[in-house]
């Protein structure tokens, strides 16, 4: 039986308060007050579509289950690299074997559901890790700036005993341009909202939905949960009425607490629905963008015990949110304003690509070394054992550290060295089971860090080579 074997998600810690944004633009765009309720997920300066994807994948697929993964598909319209495979970076961070097939999917808001359809159709005995991630940048003063949100979701797809089996999928491909972004454009250009709603959402998506139900012999009342990832009021209700689906089946859009995460939104909402679903529920997921996708699932008895075996899920990540009312910080993090960062920020960030390739498991996968003779763990890995005894040559074994809890040994908060979010907090951590490293701390206020505090390693942006357009990634520590 092919279906969803596991699911996970990730939502950044910061929550931009919409009222703050609307107030900042009230002098010029008072109509934005219509969207000033609630908050939206806001990525930190060291997060992008790749780092969000890594965290969602870790949430869905614990380390012990990754050997079965044979393919990794990453969907996004905001990936940092145009000609370096972004999915390959995610693969390295998860320490997947080199024989894994990797693919980037983009070009449409339908990319997330499209990737999921592909994964469901391509199962060949191996599991597919399907991820959708979005960190879209919106033009300051636009509605999208308040409506959008940053998030990612991941699903392990394959044969076995799924938590939700796939009843079927149905797709329409139509070159309906509701918005677009040219190759060299920084922001999307949107078309007239009423036309998009009536012709696109209600027309194209509505037709796809009714066709899908008929195709698989389902009536509207057979649907228990309807996921509509469209951030326009009234559309979900219109679609449910058109298909004869009870209004009570419409799922939470998470608009007030997360926002709209672009092509990742359908998968985020599906992951959220599975956290609360009971066995035997039929879930219909819609995707929109140059056509429409409809995916129909039915939950199995396994969902009662397995959906929350590990990870935090959408609900867990939402619960850790921290309100952010500094609109200028948001603009700086997204490139909306160029601040004077001072002379300390003026240093070359060139990445030696040969060294990155040779050390990719240590840098991107956080793999240390284990000395089989003494039992000592070292990071970075080395062929020379060091410690209280004299240095000696040893055959170290690979020792992944990313999923191990670390504890703070030393720390400092530095306001002299440049960091986009001062103060820069860093220090030494020690891993459960052995091994120490000096690392930066992220998603932690300076007064939250103390010796002995448990920390969780997280994959983040280390620095950006703005001159050459290269992003460097590494692992940082955040409060567990």
- CATH of residue 447: 2.40.50
Name the region of 109 (left: φ>0; alpha: ψ -120 to 50; beta: rest): alpha
On whether both 40 and 153 belong to a single domain, the answer is yes
Identify the DSSP state of 249: G
The pair phi, psi for residue 328, each rounded to 5°, is: -65, -35
Peptide bond preceding 380 in cis form (omega within 30 of 0): yes
On whether both 158 and 115 belong to a single domain, the answer is yes
In this prediction the pTM is 0.95
Cα separation values, 264 from 4, 70, 134, 254, 310, Å: 16, 22, 6, 13, 21
Among 284, 313, 334, residue at a domain's last position: 334
Among 282, 314, 334, residue at a domain's last position: 334
On whether both 328 and 353 belong to a single domain, the answer is no
The answer to the question of residue 123 being in a domain is yes
On whether both 354 and 435 belong to a single domain, the answer is yes
Among 317, 334, 351, residue at a domain's last position: 334
- Within 10 A of 301 (CB to CB), how many other CB atoms are there? 12
The answer to the question of residue 425 being in a domain is yes
The pair phi, psi for residue 143, each rounded to 5°, is: -60, -35
The answer to the question of residue 471 being in a domain is yes
pLDDT at 388: 57
- b/e map 104-122, b = 16+ CB within 10 Å: bbbebbbbbbbbbbbbbeb
On whether both 415 and 307 belong to a single domain, the answer is no
The DSSP code sequence of 78-98 is --S-SSS-HHHHHHHHTT--T
Residue with token string 């990730």: 10
On whether both 16 and 150 belong to a single domain, the answer is yes
pLDDT at 462: 96
Distance CA 390, CA 119 (A): 52
The answer to the question of residue 211 being in a domain is no
Domain of residue 425, residue span: 343-366+401-479
The answer to the question of residue 235 being in a domain is no
The DSSP code sequence of 161-205 is S-SEEEEEEEEEE----SEE--TT-SS-EE--HHHIIIIIIIIII
The answer to the question of residue 166 being in a domain is yes
List Cβ neighbours of 171 (8 Å cut-off, separation of 6 or more): 114, 117, 208, 291, 292, 293, 294
On whether both 314 and 431 belong to a single domain, the answer is no
Indicate the number of domains in the chain.
2
Query: Coil, strand, or helix at residue 285?
Result: strand
On whether both 311 and 360 belong to a single domain, the answer is no
Identify the DSSP state of 245: -
442 CB-contact burial (10 Å; exposed 0-12 / middle 13-18 / buried 19+) = buried
pLDDT in tens, the chain (480 residues): 899 999 999 999 999 999 999 999 999 999 999 999 999 999 999 999 999 999 999 999 999 999 999 999 999 999 999 999 999 999 999 999 999 999 999 999 999 999 999 999 986 778 999 999 999 899 999 999 999 999 999 999 999 899 999 999 999 999 999 999 998 898 999 999 999 999 999 999 999 999 999 999 999 999 999 999 999 999 999 999 999 999 999 999 999 999 999 999 999 999 999 999 999 999 999 999 999 999 999 999 999 887 666 789 999 999 999 999 999 999 999 999 999 888 888 888 888 999 999 999 999 999 999 988 888 899 999 888 876 566 678 788 999 999 999 999 999 999 999 999 999 999 999 999 999 999 999 999 999 899 999 999 999 999 999 889 999 999 999 999
Distance CA 50, CA 62 (A): 18
Q: Residue 346 is encoded by which pair of tokens?
A: 């003026």
Is the distance from CB of 41 to CB of 15 less than 8 angstroms? yes
On whether both 178 and 47 belong to a single domain, the answer is yes
The answer to the question of residue 215 being in a domain is no
The answer to the question of residue 104 being in a domain is yes
Q: Residue 65 is encoded by which pair of tokens?
A: 């289950």
Identify the DSSP state of 21: H
- Tell me the longest C-alpha to C-alpha distance in the chain: 77
Distance CA 71, CA 156 (A): 10
Q: Name the β-bridge partners of 384.
A: 393
On whether both 47 and 177 belong to a single domain, the answer is yes
Is the distance from CB of 97 to CB of 134 less than 8 angstroms? no
On whether both 330 and 419 belong to a single domain, the answer is no
- b/e map 355-365, b = 16+ CB within 10 Å: eeeeeeebbbb
On whether both 314 and 169 belong to a single domain, the answer is yes
CATH of the domain at 93: 3.40.47.10
Query: Coil, strand, or helix at residue 2?
Result: strand
Q: How far is CA 275 from the centre of its chain?
A: 17
């Amino acid at each position: 039986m092919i279906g969803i074997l596991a699911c996970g998600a990730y939502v950044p810690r910061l929550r931009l308060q919409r009222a703050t944004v609307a107030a900042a633009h009230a002098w010029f765009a008072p109509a934005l007050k219509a969207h000033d309720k609630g908050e939206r997920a806001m990525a930190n300066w060291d997060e992008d579509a790749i780092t969000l994807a890594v965290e969602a994948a870790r949430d869905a697929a614990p380390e012990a289950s990754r050997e079965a993964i044979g393919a990794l598909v990453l969907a996004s319209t905001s990936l940092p690299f145009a000609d370096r495979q972004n999915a390959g970076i995610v693969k390295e961070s998860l320490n997947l074997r080199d024989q894994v097939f990797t693919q980037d999917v983009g070009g449409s808001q339908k990319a997330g559901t499209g990737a999921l359809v592909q994964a469901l159709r391509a199962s060949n005995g191996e599991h597919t890790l399907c991820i959708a991630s979005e960190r879209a940048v919106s033009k300051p003063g636009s509605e999208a700036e308040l409506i959008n949100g940053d998030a990612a979701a991941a699903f392990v797809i394959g044969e076995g005993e799924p938590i939700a089996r796939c009843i079927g999928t149905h797709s329409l491909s139509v070159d309906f341009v509701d918005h677009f972004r040219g190759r060299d454009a920084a922001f999307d250009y949107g078309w007239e909202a009423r036309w998009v709603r009536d012709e696109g959402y209600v027309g194209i998506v509505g037709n796809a939905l009714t066709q899908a139900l008929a195709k698989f012999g389902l009536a509207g009342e057979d649907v228990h949960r309807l996921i509509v990832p469209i951030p326009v009021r009234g559309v979900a209700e219109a679609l449910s009425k058109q298909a004869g689906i009870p209004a009570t089946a419409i799922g939470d859009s998470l608009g007030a607490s997360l926002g709209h995460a672009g092509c990742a939104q359908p998968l985020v909402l599906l992951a959220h629905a599975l956290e609360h679903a009971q066995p035997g529920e039929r879930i219909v997921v819609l995707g929109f963008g140059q056509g429409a996708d409809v995916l129909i699932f039915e939950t199995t008895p396994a969902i009662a015990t397995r959906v929350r075996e590990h990870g935090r899920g959408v609900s867990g990540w939402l619960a850790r949110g921290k309100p952010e009312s500094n609109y200028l910080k948001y603009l700086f993090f997204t490139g909306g304003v160029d601040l004077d960062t001072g002379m300390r920020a003026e240093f070359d960030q060139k990445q030696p690509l040969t060294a990155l390739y040779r050390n990719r498991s240590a840098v991107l996968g956080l793999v240390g070394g284990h000395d089989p003779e003494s039992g000592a763990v070292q990071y970075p890995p080395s062929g020379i054992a060091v410690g209280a005894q004299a240095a000696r040559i040893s055959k170290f074994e690979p020792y992944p550290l990313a999923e191990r809890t670390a504890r703070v040994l030393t720390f400092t908060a530095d306001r002299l060295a440049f960091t986009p979010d001062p103060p820069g907090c860093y220090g030494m951590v020690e891993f459960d089971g052995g091994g120490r490293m000096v690392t930066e701390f992220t998603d932690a206020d300076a007064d939250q860090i103390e010796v002995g505090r448990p920390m969780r390693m997280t994959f983040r942006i280390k620095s950006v080579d703005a001159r050459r357009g290269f992003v460097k990634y590494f692992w940082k520590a955040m409060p567990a």
